[in-house]
Amino acid sequence: MPSSAEQAVGGPVPVTVISIGGTIAMTPVEDGAGVAPSLGAAELLKEVQGLDRIARLNAVGFRRLPGAHLGLADVIELAARIEREVEDGSGVVVTQGTDTLEEVAYALDLMLGPPRLPVVVTGAMRNPSALGADGSANLAAAVRVAASPEAAAAGVLVVMDDEIHSARLVQKSHSSGLGAFRSFPGPIGWLSEERVRIVLRPVTGERIVVPPDRVPPPVALVTASLGDDGRLLDHLADAGHAGVVIEALGGGHLPAAMAHRAATLAERIPVVFSTRVGCGEVLRRTYDFPGSEVDLIRRGLIPSGALDGPKARVLLTLALLAGLDREEIGRRFDAGG
């Protein structure tokens, strides 16, 4: 459960820093071989000198988990906490692990809509004990963006490596490099000499209103590959999955046997197809052979548009949780989220 605020210092613009954990908050494990989350929100703020000159800071410890341990229920609770902070007149920075940063940021974007004050997600690729640790710089940049009126109503933002990304576009493209986060067609802004520059504003979709106290339904993410017959798909509905996202080949294609199984599954639960390529929009009307995008749409599958597999899974899960029917789900994907 979220704790109450741990610290409030500085001025004049209020910014709340909500810590979930992740590499930015990790230190070496005693008698261990690696690092684990250990720093609280107030401790993170103390690591970065000069933050109190940027904003009046409020530190909130929300979770102390690696990114891989987060679930959508955590993010739903986080969205509610962020809403309260924004209603109280505070910009928000969320620090978390980068493993799931793109999915958390996108889920927040869907649930919050364009918040009237900036909401920024950041993290680190190197923990505080490593040479060249980037957490302090990323946190300072994120606070600066969250304190900037220029970042208001731009949707949820991701700030890493002095670049400002839209949560709808950003992807983690490298497992460990400092420049791991990229967007297509590119970042919507950047920081230069401590100045926030936002040169593009993404089109934001309709907010998804999630009913309180409902458990997110299980939605599977399956990746197609050479010669895949799709036999795994036969068992997903009976295993309790409420929906499926398939990362298809190329522009949205499946092997013929897998396409047949996917179509059979789509008669029971919503099945969305994206592309495993990771960048670019799935096609809708270019190829027409068994397993092509035209064939899959004809047989009831829903194209994901420009959303990759992980983001498509987030949207489908929240849409099902909000009670949207298949037609409405298709409309959300067609509109880009």
Q: What is the mean pLDDT of residues 152-163?
A: 95
Question: Per-residue pLDDT for 1 more than 70?
Answer: no
Residue 79 CB neighbour total at 10 angstroms:
19
Q: Where are the domains of the chain?
A: 7-198, 219-334
For residue 158, which phi and psi values (nearest 5 degrees)?
A: -120, 125
Check pLDDT > 50 for residue 85: yes
Identify the pLDDT of residue 33: 78
170 and 102 Cβ atoms separated by less than 8 Å? yes
For residues 197 and 162, is the Cβ–Cβ distance under 8 A? no
**Mean pLDDT across the stretch 252-262?**
98
Q: Which of 64, 57, 65, 53 is nearest to 85 (CA)?
A: 57
Residue 226, number of CB atoms within 10 A of its CB: 6
* Residue 305 per-residue DSSP state: T
3-state SS record for 46-101? HHCCCHHHCCEEEEEEEEEECHHHCCHHHHHHHHHHHHHHHHCCCEEEEECCHHHH
What is the pairing mode between strands 302-303 and 56-65? unpaired
> Quick check: 222 pLDDT over 60?
yes
Q: Do domains 7-198 and 219-334 have the same CATH topology?
A: yes
Tens of pLDDT, residues 62-76: 999 999 999 999 999
Report CA Rg, the chain.
20
Got the DSSP string for 261-274? HHHHHHTTS-EEEE
Residue whose pair of structure tokens reads 């986080």 in the numeric block: 78
Residue 66 identity (one-letter amino acid): P
Q: Which ranges of the chain would DSSP assign to H, the alpha helix?
A: 41-47, 72-87, 101-112, 135-146, 256-266, 293-298, 309-321, 326-334
CA 328 – CA 334 distance, rounded (Å): 10
Which SS3 state, helix, strand or coil, does residue 252 take?
coil
The single residue listed with the structure tokens 């900037």 is 148
Cβ-proximal residues to 264 (8 Å cutoff; 6+ apart), any chain: 233, 234
pLDDT at 70: 94
Residues taking part in catalysis: 23
More confident call, 180 vs 204: 180
Amino acid at 242: A
Q: Where is average pLDDT lowest: 31-35, 263-267, 295-299, 300-304?
A: 31-35
User: What integer best gives the mean pLDDT of the chain?
Assistant: 93
SS3 content of the chain, % helix, strand, coil (to 5): 30, 25, 45
Query: Does the pLDDT value for residue 298 go beyond 70?
Result: yes
Distance CA 293, CA 253 (A): 6
Percent of the chain whose predicted confidence (pLDDT) is above 90? 80
258: alpha, beta or left? (left if phi > 0; alpha if psi -120 to 50):
alpha
> Which CATH architecture fits 219-334?
3-Layer(aba) Sandwich (3.40)
Helical residues (DSSP H) of 3-54, grouped into ranges: 41-47
Average pLDDT in the 42-64 region?
91
Q: What is the spatial distance between Cα 294 and Cα 277, in angstroms, rounded to a whole number?
A: 18
* Topology adopted by domain 7-198: Rossmann fold (3.40.50)
Residue 104 sits at the vertex; the CA angle it makes with 71 and 130, to the nearest 5 degrees, is 95
pLDDT (0 to 100) of residue 76: 96
